[in-house]
Amino acid sequence: MSRRFCLTFAIFIALAGSNGVMGQGLQSDDSSNPHLKQAQQDIDNNKPAEAADEYEAALAANPKLPNAEYELGVLYGEKLHDPISSIYHLKRFQLLAPSSDKAVGAQNLIDKESKIFAATVPNQDSDAVTKLQAENAAQKKSLEDASHTITLLQGQLALAAKTPGAAAAVGTTTTPESAGPQKALPLDQMNPNVPVPGAPAATGTAAAAGTAGRSYTVVKGDKIWTIAKKMYPGHTKEGVDKIQEANKDALGNKPLKIGQVLIIPD
């Protein structure tokens, strides 16, 4: 499957649901829509992510705003480095306002972003893609299992702390050969995966699994901003800060890697 075909197919699917809103009564502006004014203020303040959210909200209220589509296409392409979203909104602009004086500029941007997107598509066969997807699924399942196990163990320890008899059962062992009171074994000797009160906190993957309410596996083309937009709709900037803080040890200044699992705080 060629890169050009992949891109064309993706844009076709994205625009397939848009035809129902094309037609008469198009508006280049909507003075009653407060999101448009806020979007322009965000652009003036060099806040492209916030501006994009405002334009998206404006279009949700009124999908017949060609200028908002055009500005979104420019923002996604030149500021947020998201060629697919850029092409999508520029194509919608062309459908809404085919005779606009911005039509030529929109097509030039579409051509530019198409080349950028094509350069990111690897020449991999279907077996390699299937293998990567299987590895990602297995890694996600492993993290979910670890998180579930930790939750169960924490619940058992909490119950044992409230019930003296249960606590003795968890912390002691008896044998037929021995008589009298038995010495309680430390929990970490019974099961190294059971956390012990007062013991140093776990590090690495185990600690991450115990801390995260959700997780996200990085796929091709992901950036911190696009992940934040998916996981925190309408709160992109706050989402970026949360993800970076929760994954600061893993991220640092390094780029995202396909298959990397990020913690998504609640």
Does the pTM of the predicted model rise above 0.85? no
Determine whether 39 is exposed, middle or buried from the number of CB atoms within 10 Å of its CB (0-12, 13-18, 19+): buried
Domain that holds residue 154: 125-172+183-197
Sequence-ordered strand ranges (E) for the chain: 214-217, 261-264
The answer to whether residues 13 and 93 belong to one domain is: yes
Q: Give CA–CA dist 198/250, Å, rounded.
A: 26
| 12/68 same-domain check | yes
Specify if 223 maps to a domain.
yes
Domain count, the chain: 3
Query: Could you read off the pLDDT tens digit of each residue along the chain, which spans 266 residues?
Result: 455 545 555 554 555 444 444 433 445 556 778 999 999 999 999 999 999 999 999 999 999 999 999 999 999 999 999 999 999 999 999 999 999 999 999 999 999 999 999 888 766 556 676 777 888 888 888 888 888 899 889 888 888 887 765 545 544 444 444 445 555 444 444 444 444 444 444 333 333 444 446 889 999 888 888 998 888 888 888 888 888 888 888 887 788 889 889 889 88
Select from 120, 136, 163 the last residue of a domain: 120
- Whether 28 is covered by a domain: the verdict is yes
Q: Which residue has the tokens 């003036």?
A: 44
